[in-house]
Structure 1
Amino acid sequence: MPALCAVGILVVGQLYTLLPVLDELGGSWSTTTSAAGWATTAFGFGYAAGFLFSGPLSDRFGRRKLIVTGLLLTALATVAVTLASSLAVGCAARAVQGLAAATFAPAAFAYIAERIEPTRRVAAMTWLTSSFLSAGVLGQVFSQSVADAWNWEAVFYICAAAMVGGALLLHTTLLPDRASAAASALDAYRAMGKLLTKPSLVLFLLTTVTLLCGFVAVYTALQLMGPASLSDRPDAMLLLRASSLPAMVLVPLVTPFLVKVPAAQRVIGALLLAGTVSGMTALLAAGDGLSPVGLGALLFVFVFGIAVTAPALVEAIASQAGPARGAAVALYTFTLFVGASLGPLLATSAGDSFATVSTVIAGVLCAGAALAATGQYLRR
């Protein structure tokens, strides 16, 4: 599990590594900082689309084989990003990078379901999910630190080398693949189609879109239009990103208590918490009363709400899928990262101030809570 979680942080972190270096990227590609944000969106859409293919591929070819092969392909695509000379080429390279990176998560979840004993499986799933979410913070902290010391290209070279190392690590650590008796890929897509006929499940999938959309939009807005108080200290942004990490660690530790609350109620409550915090952030930012310390505290609670919501959504969606749980998880991960892809667009189009964007994010997350509440009502 430590090996899977470490590689999971590395892989999912690629979605977020561009956020701290958008200015430098815009200069290298002769475009604006806002336009450079499309490279994050391109990765997210490639990543989301890849989940629809990697689930059946994992069933057919084996968990370890797909993970190792996917990491090596992702390493090549990561290097290709540094060779891009324009925004269009960079976005294409990022889309391929996302498509290759999508091989990891479905295979990792399936490996846990098959190889971890039932009494430890929930804890293992929670740790892996938390590692994916913590990548949103760690990816940015790593990227900013390396870019400040060298340049943005070094971020991608180091990540590519780490992926090759991760492939070797997991090839050694994971158990060999079992003989496959999987159904055809067409059967998997038929199962997805049947799930999409359930209104309550569709509403929870729409809720999933709002989750990382709000999360990524917050950090994009901080980079592009953060409060003026952040400019007074060069290290303020780095510390602000790192301040959310304890929330990621806290969630798995309190999971034994959280699971006593039904999954749908956890989704609704946690999203309302994150939305309320975003609204409070908007009010304080509008009144120039938002210090770096205060913003760090608010981000801690915001990220805690997001981190509680993610595994609860998996549980709520899978519980409606019957025997088609694999297809349900594929749809969940697809919609999750569609939302992540929309986050930068939300941040750059919602307004030109951090307060305005925070207000819109609050509305998006509260709308997600309303969708989940409606979905839960329809299940009764």
Structure 2
Amino acid sequence: MSHPAPATSPRHTVGTSTPDQPPTWAPAAPTIALLTALGVLMVGQMYTVLALLHPMATALGTTPEQVTWTATAFGFAYAGGFLLAGPLSDRYGSRAVITAGLVAATAATLAVSAAPDLPTAIALRSVQGLATATFAPSALSYAVHHIAPQRRGTALTCITSGMFAAAVLLQIGAQAVAAGLGWRAVFWIGAVLMALGLMPVRRVLRPTLRHGTGGGLRQAFAAMPRLVRRPRLVALYLSTVVLMSAFVAVYTAVAIAGPPGIAGNSSAILALRVGALPALIAVPVLAPVLQRLAPPLRTVLAFTSAALTVAAGSFLGGHTVALAIALLLFVAAVAAAAPAVVETINAHAPQARGAAVALYGCSMFIGASLGPQLTGALTGLGFGGILRVVAAALVLGVLLALPSLRSPTSSGS
């Protein structure tokens, strides 16, 4: 981590206004459980449509390839929302921003369920993306500010793993709900769950002390231009774009490109989605072991593993079990990479964590927005060809992550 643990007891620290020294640390278990569960729900709104492309296309009078724009519109709005939510969280406190975001996201999600045509659905998904963007940077900032240092790595791993689990869990849930109740019910249920989340947020999370003096939001936003002038941070943000683009592209390829022998078989496609769940459980459980490696090294190793598993999967489209294993290992690599990148970014920007995490989240969802369009542009190559292009992109991600292996105190970081 970027700061050593305080010299005093981990639950009673000296000082009241610095991010690493609140009066008492928040209880880790309920905080992690709540933020992880909400991460699945809120971030998962990005991915629900990947399981709804065909029913939405039928209802809205268009094609599945055109419906992917509802994912892209959400992702770009989400990325922009991160840039607002990070500084707002620093200024007004994570709990306040999460609360306001849940209210706005509930309304926006209900509105999506009533979309009469594709252009309206795209516009409403943009609003939904902007509203739900308030959660992730606020949750990560809350963990950094309120969880004791010795539990913080585990907290970040659980929260980010929950956000990745959303890509699988909410696709599975959306597919099941749409089959029984129709695609609009997916958004009704999502809105109800968001509204129900307000009570535990108010009960479990603590108000965050405002940090720093003077400057207000201007000071918070001013940190961003300084961060994007640092080459190694820029490289990490670009590697995050690559990682998330690859992640979403692979699952979009499963949905619309159809692996040979699996295309049109909803049960087989569901099995591929479900097969990745053990990885999203195993990575948080193994967090104490993984954290023995320095975050930059974990980042590079995870990117390398992701590239290798996608390359292997590109030759396994006709074999459901073998492809499921490749996707399992790929998701594990992605889930291990995400918290490692967050910790590395924090180490390179200890004085501007909110802005740094906001830029990280923006990078994530720029990548997530590009993923469906990447797959759509490459459908002519077939499932295997798409995955080989994705594997090549992940090799670029490895190269972008390599500079972070140098100490953050080195010049030019």
TM-score range, shorter chain: over 0.9
One-letter amino acid of the counterpart of residue 356, structure 1: G
- CA offsets per residue over residues 325-373 of structure 1, 9 Å max, x none? 2211111111011100101011111232101110111011111001112
> Structure 2: how far apart are the matches of 1:145 and 1:78?
18
1:213 aligns with 245
2:320 aligns with 292
Q: Please say which of residues 269-278 and 108-117 is displaced more in the overlay.
A: 108-117
One-letter amino acid of the counterpart of residue 221, structure 2: Y
- Alignment map for 1:180-195 (pairs within 5 Å): 183-195=215-227
Q: TM-score, normalised by structure 2?
A: 0.87
- Give 1:234 deviation, angstroms: 3.7
One-letter amino acid of the counterpart of residue 269, structure 2: M
1:149 aligns with 180
- Give 1:60 deviation, angstroms: 2.7
SS in 2 for 1:84: coil
8 Å CA contact retained: 2:141, 2:353: no
Which residue of 58, 66, 90 corresponds with 2:121?
Answer: 90
One-letter amino acid of the counterpart of residue 146, structure 1: V
- CA offsets per residue over residues 28-73 of structure 1, 9 Å max, x none? 2221110100000000011110011111222233222221121111
In the superposition, relative to structure 1, how do residues 108 and 211 fare at CA in structure 2: closer, same or farther (>3 Å)? Answer: same
One-letter amino acid of the counterpart of residue 98, structure 1: G
> Structure 2: how far apart are the matches of 1:365 and 1:310?
14
8 Å CA contact retained: 1:199, 1:375: no
1:100 aligns with 131
> Structure 1: how far apart are the matches of 2:315 and 2:263?
20
1:204 aligns with 236
1:331 aligns with 359
1:109 aligns with 140
8 Å CA contact retained: 2:106, 2:192: yes
8 Å CA contact retained: 1:282, 1:355: yes
One-letter amino acid of the counterpart of residue 83, structure 1: A
8 Å CA contact retained: 1:200, 1:378: no
> Structure 2: how far apart are the matches of 1:180 and 1:313?
24
Q: Please say which of residues 197-206 and 180-189 is displaced more in the overlay.
A: 180-189
1:354 aligns with 383
In the superposition, relative to structure 1, how do residues 88 and 378 fare at CA in structure 2: closer, same or farther (>3 Å)? Answer: farther
2:272 aligns with 240
Is 2:293 the counterpart of 1:265?
no
- Alignment map for 1:1-380 (pairs within 5 Å): 1-178=32-209, 183-231=215-263, 233-285=265-317, 290-352=318-380, 353-376=382-405
Structure 2: 5+ residue stretches without partners: 1-31
Q: TM-score, normalised by structure 1?
A: 0.94
In the superposition, relative to structure 1, how do residues 106 and 232 fare at CA in structure 2: closer, same or farther (>3 Å)? Answer: closer
- Give 1:291 deviation, angstroms: 1.4
8 Å CA contact retained: 1:61, 1:180: no
8 Å CA contact retained: 1:56, 1:184: no
> Structure 1: how far apart are the matches of 2:94 and 2:260?
47
Identical-residue share of aligned pairs (%): 40
> Structure 2: how far apart are the matches of 1:333 and 1:325?
12
- CA offsets per residue over residues 292-345 of structure 1, 9 Å max, x none? 111111111010111111111111222111312221111111101110010101
8 Å CA contact retained: 1:62, 1:180: no
> Structure 2: how far apart are the matches of 1:157 and 1:40?
18
User: What do you get for the CA RMSD once the two structures are aligned?
Assistant: 1.7
> Structure 2: how far apart are the matches of 1:191 and 1:60?
13
> Structure 2: how far apart are the matches of 1:208 and 1:178?
30
One-letter amino acid of the counterpart of residue 160, structure 2: T
SS in 2 for 1:338: helix
> Structure 2: how far apart are the matches of 1:282 and 1:231?
15
One-letter amino acid of the counterpart of residue 327, structure 2: L
- Give 1:263 deviation, angstroms: 1.9
> Structure 2: how far apart are the matches of 1:145 and 1:324?
42
- Give 1:152 deviation, angstroms: 0.3
> Structure 1: how far apart are the matches of 2:195 and 2:58?
29
Q: Please state which structure has a larger fraction of its residues in helix.
A: 1
